[in-house]
Amino acid sequence: MGMEEGIKDNAASAPNSRPTNQLKALLPMRVLQVFLLFFVLVLGISVISMHMINELLWRASMEPRILDYPFKRVPKMAFMFLTKGPLPFAPLWERFFKGHEGFYSIYVHTLPNYRSDFPSSSVFYRRQIPSQHVAWGEMSMCDAERRLLANALLDISNEWFVLLSEACIPLRGFNFVYRYVSRSRYSFMGSVDEDGPYGRGRYSYAMGPEVSLNEWRKGSQWFEINRALAVDIVEDMVYYNKFKEFCRPPCYVDEHYFPTMLSIGYPDFLANRTLTWTDWSRGGAHPATFGKADITEKFIKKLSRGKACFYNDQPSQVCYLFARKFAPSALKPLLKLAPKVLGF
């Protein structure tokens, strides 16, 4: 009897254990299915995103470069802000733009998860463009700049394109900046042949034959270019992949890609200097940052008239229209000095 009872007990318990074993067997399969679903979803989003970016660049490259239009066109300056998130100097820029509607447009590229909260009365209201993650010193930085250019090119009135950061400030009033840029025969992109480890030392012979060592250039990331050059950057398919593959840190692609390709294609169109003042005298990978204690009338005047350069092939002491890198603490003293020193 005992054996029979034992058999009955085993038989009775067997059906209860079978679902548990089945669940254990199914669990890895479920995890695999969820993983595959997630992978397909991410891949799909990436493909759609890449398609949208490629379509944007294609549409922008089709925008006209002509000089004459069959209608009255007021050429505008496109101010393109490349930032992680907030714009701490927005109040200063608001003053700069005030009263000049119709002569400028604004585009802001932030990290994808950032949402600005500017009021509807602000010039920055709804000026964010679709963005992607940006890594310092990598091709994603140039991708963001091309994205800004592409969005700005869709407005046929935009004729000049200025790249700025959240740490930039204007050194002159809007009228002065507009006249300076619009009357220039050149675009302001630094493009120099620099010896040493931080210039030619970053060149890879794998860049050939598209880019030779003698064609390798370096310049500031912050530029001002005209519409023709903006279209050329957006539609580039010759140099992009070479720089993406062979210019990686410690080769910082944002310092070499545009200066090199424009120097090769349009050497006579470049002023070979930037309009944005930056202090590299302290050394290191990043420029000096200036805060509240640094902001004096003497300091700001020195930035706007602190160097000799050429403007339309003539000597000039007005070389910079913008400056960086400023900490948020500099805002209040800058707002106080702006009417007297900056002109707005």
pLDDT in tens, 4-29: 333 334 434 444 545 555 555 555 66
Give the whole-number percent of the chain exceeding pLDDT 70: 79
Pairing between β-strand 104-109 and β-strand 169-170 as defined by DSSP bridges: unpaired
The least confident of 14-23, 88-97, 238-247 is 14-23
Domain topology for 54-274? Spore Coat Polysaccharide Biosynthesis Protein SpsA; Chain A (3.90.550)
Q: How many CA atoms lie within 13 A of 86 on its CB side?
A: 5
Cα(207)–Cα(239) distance, integer angstroms? 9
As a whole number, mean pLDDT of residues 216-243 equals: 97
Quote the CA–CA distance of 187 and 162 in Å, as a whole number.
Answer: 10
Work out the pLDDT band at 63, boundaries 50, 70, 90. low
pLDDT digits (tens, 9 = 90+) for 314-341: 999 999 999 999 999 999 999 999 999 9
pLDDT of residue 13: 42
To which H or E segment does residue 245 belong? helix 240-246
Joined tokens for residue 113: 């998860």
Contact 158, 227 (CB under 8 A): yes
- Which pLDDT score is estimated for 109? 98
pLDDT at 26: 58
pTM: 0.82
Encoding tokens for residue 22?
Answer: 């089945």
- Closest C-alpha among 270, 272, 273, 285 to residue 325: 285
Is the pLDDT assigned to residue 307 strictly greater than 70?
yes
Residues listed for the chain: 344
Nearest to 204 by CA among 246, 248, 161: 246
User: Which amino acid appears at position 220 of this protein?
Assistant: S
Count Cβ atoms below 10 Å from residue 311 Cβ, excluding itself. 18
Structure tokens at 238: 């010759």
Task: Supply φ then ψ for residue 26, to 5 degrees.
Answer: -80, -25
Q: Can you tell me the mean pLDDT for 248-258? A: 96
Mean per-residue pLDDT, 37-42: 48
Asked if residue 78 has pLDDT above 70, the reply is: yes
Q: Which residue has the higher pLDDT, 171 or 48?
A: 171
pLDDT of residue 5: 37
Residue 92 has what pLDDT? 99
Dihedral over Cα of 148, 187, 217, 136: its sign? negative
DSSP state of 292: G
The mean of the pLDDT values for the chain is 87
- Work out the end-to-end distance of the chain between its first and last CA atoms, rounded to an integer number of angstroms: 104
Least confident of 76-85, 132-141, 238-247, 280-289: 280-289
Asked whether 246 and 206 are in contact (CB, 8 A), the reply is: yes
Q: What is the mean pLDDT of residues 141-165?
A: 98
Query: What local confidence, expressed as pLDDT, does residue 283 receive?
Result: 78
Stretch 214-220: mean pLDDT: 97
Identify the pLDDT of residue 49: 43
**Which residues on adjacent β-strands are paired with residue 341?**
none
Q: Of 306, 299, 301, 296, nearest to 336 (Cα)?
A: 296
Distance CA 98, CA 229 (A): 28
pLDDT of residue 20: 54
Sign for the CA dihedral angle at 180, 101, 338, 106 comes to negative
Tens digits of residue pLDDT in 268-286: 999 999 999 999 988 777 8
- CA distance linking residue 220 with residue 316, whole number of Å: 20
Mean pLDDT of all residues in 172-186? 98
**pLDDT of the residue at 3:** 39
**Res. 260: pLDDT tops 80:** yes
Residue 232 contacts residue 170 (beta carbons within 8 Å)? no
Q: What is the pLDDT of residue 58?
A: 54
Q: 102 or 64: which carries more pLDDT confidence?
A: 102
Percentage of residues of the chain with pLDDT beyond 90: 75
- Per-residue model confidence (pLDDT) at position 66: 60
